[in-house]
Amino acid sequence: MSIHYCEKCMSFFLQTPHTTYVCGIVNGKYLGHIYYGKKLQDQNLRHLMGVKADPAADNINHGDTGIFFDNFPFEYNFDGIGDFRECALDVHTSDGHHGALCEYRSHKIFKGKPKLQDLPATFCNNENECETLEIELFDPVISMTLILSYTVFSDVDAICRHVRVKNEGSRPIFLDCVMSAHLYLPEDSYDVITLHGSWGRERGICRRELPYGISRAYSKRGVSSHQAHPFIAVTSRNASQTSGEVYAMNLVYSGNFIAQTDGLVNDDVIAQIGINPEGFCWKLEYGETFTAPEAVLVYSGEGLGQMTRTFHDLYRNHLIRGKYKDRKRPVLLNHWEATYFDFNTEKLLDIARSASRCGIEMLVMDDGWFGNRFDDHRALGDWVVNEEKLPGGLKYLVSEVNKLGMKFGIWFEPEMVCPDSDLFRAHPDWAIQVPNRENTTLRWQYVLDITRPEVLEYVWASVRAVLKSANIEYVKWDMNRALCNIGSKDLPADRIGEFFHRYVLAVYELQGRLVTEFPNLLLENCSSGGGRFDPGMLYFSPQIWCSDDTDAIERLKIQEGTALIYPLSSIGAHVSVCPNHLTGRSVPFETRGHIAMFGTFGYELDITKLSEEDLQMIPKQVEMYHAYNDLVREGDYYRLASYAENHGFDSYMVVSKDRSKALLTMVAVAYRINHRAYKIRLQGLDPNARYYIPAMECHLTGDALMDAGIFVPTPWAGGDYRSFVWTIERDD
């Protein structure tokens, strides 16, 4: 790890363990991108900048500099100056003029990494773990300072970037677009990968040939969303799990975003990620600074698998925080799919007693415990215990659960209010709304305007009071609808464009208070399942509910897309009842356990109604979780086969950091008659070591397992959806 400035070649070199990033100053003014890729020795690479372009008729030459702005590889480019590519920064002044041109002014290099104001971001555990470069640019016409910040870490091949904009002029300026990262890629044939879906089928991997023009993923729903994801990867055309180049970006943000590529006519490519400029406009008065969210950049020269493991290591070591950062999570049972709204104290205690006998360690009480909440038409916002359902209140229920040796958790949806609620009747103006326009409900609820201090304080006081009332050790924080009809009583007309971002900052403020005042709490975020599964949320909660679709076979695709970026320890995954409540599919109980084990692991069912055969399997699954969770949580993840691609079977493995042990999982989705076996090649082992596979009773070297592969017999013969988890142990 190092950051170095070469005065002779006026270039900045950022070195991670295996990658190099280079940018440089041209004509003493303009910051250009030079190189990002495999690690190089420091040397003069200015010949790669392409300062002089062919003077085509439609290229605008800036004075006598020889720089054509529509071809120059800006490190961070600007709108309104003759660069007609997708811009990273768009600014207009109070008199309506658009445009900026920032020139190099200074830079500094220092150990450590400052916190971002009001935003989640990666961190270093001590200042020797990372180094930061800040490059200051300045536009003398509108007196605007732009600071580009880059951090590299000693233990991971990632570069974390963010941008700050400061108004040093006497008149306000308005930011219409502020990308967190802008990356210029050389001419090549590329694919682009994004993650798409909807409720119940989040983060499906979408790979396509990178086209000329714009290819983008975006959200304008106020959350990162089920439909898209704040991630984009540009790969070489032949890139696989184990080979090829990958340039990836992930945004540490939980609101509206855009992640896009611009395929240029000269076959170069621009990749960008940041806050979605649609509906965004931030007013900066004199002396004020706007901080954009952090973007994580990862380069891999060894395919998608190496990219994945880089993201996993970065997020486990430098983003997830708190008591459970490096700790096994309790095996929980959430009663939602067991009872929905129809429960009381005795029913919950019956479930808890059965769960306790099976080794389950926590009962989570989901929606329906408060106010007049007998269905989802009412009472959100009235965070007072319904003692008709729960006589004696939370204190009695929690103490009885604790007597069973179990922890207790609870569900909230603090950002919402139902029209049929005491809160809304008292404060109808607290809902997000446009004056004189009929408001829109989704799931019979409105969104609270937590950008207003009095609303935020009410939400915080309500949550805090409940958590103080009993020994609650887990919170599931839900958010079940998108934002629309955007209006706020506190924002003047020239600041309405700030609302979406202010809303996200308010969510971060609330969750920051929560984990600060209750440091031993296990927080799990949720948004109708995986609608806000993003790095911003991971900063506050070490795990996020992956999807409301708990069907094990559906989860293969959902968890594959999620694990492309996020560590297995962050993926909320439970065993649910069959036939599944959403799909009607029946999957063997053992298979459901195998798939959920490569996540946080828990149960989402009525344990009192299980068959004796399934009930007896729970203690075995819990025992297996405790035996292997350290490896699942801390090990390196390798994707071997994808059911989403081959429609036959899924396979993945986790290997310990010292490569001494591994877990291999296979799920046969469709049984194949007269098929001898599946052949797979393992990954991540030591090629020179010998390994023992107890299930096969064989000893083989790592290179044989990885290069020659193994035929896996079909122990699931006679039906679909069979699975196994095999241990692999080094024995030399």
Phi-psi region of 392 (alpha: psi -120 to 50; beta: other; left: phi over 0): left
Q: Give the separation between CA 105 and CA 718, rounded to whole angstroms.
A: 71
Strands (E), 29-69: 30-38
Give, rounded to a whole angstrom, the gap between the first and last alpha carbons of the chain: 34
Among candidate residues 70, 157, 262, 548, the one labeled active-site is: 548
Of the candidates 79, 139, 157, 478, the residue annotated as catalytic is 478
CA 409, 580, 380, 203 torsion-angle sign: positive
Residue 176 catalytic?
no
CA distance 450 to 430: 8
Residues 640 and 653: their CA atoms lie apart, in Å, by 7
- Tell the residue number behind the tokens 């540009």, with chain if given: 234
Taking the C-alpha atoms of residue 336 and residue 602, their distance in angstroms, rounded to an integer, is 13
- Please state, in angstroms and rounded to a whole number, the distance separating the CA atoms of residues 514 and 250: 25
Extract the tokens encoding 596: 């959920």
Backbone angles phi, psi at 48, to 5 degrees: -85, -10
Amino acid at 467: L
Relative to beta strand 2-6, strand 282-284 is unpaired
Residues 485, 532 contacting (CB under 8 angstroms): no
Bridge-based pairing state of the strands 11-15 and 130-139: unpaired
Give, as one character, the DSSP assignment of residue 675.
Answer: -
Per the listing, tokens 């009001």 go with 118
Is 367 annotated as catalytic? no
- Residues ≥6 apart with Cβ < 8 Å to 181: 161, 249, 271, 272, 273, 274, 295, 297
* Cα 181 to Cα 397: distance, rounded to the nearest angstrom: 49
Q: Which residues are catalytic?
A: 478, 548
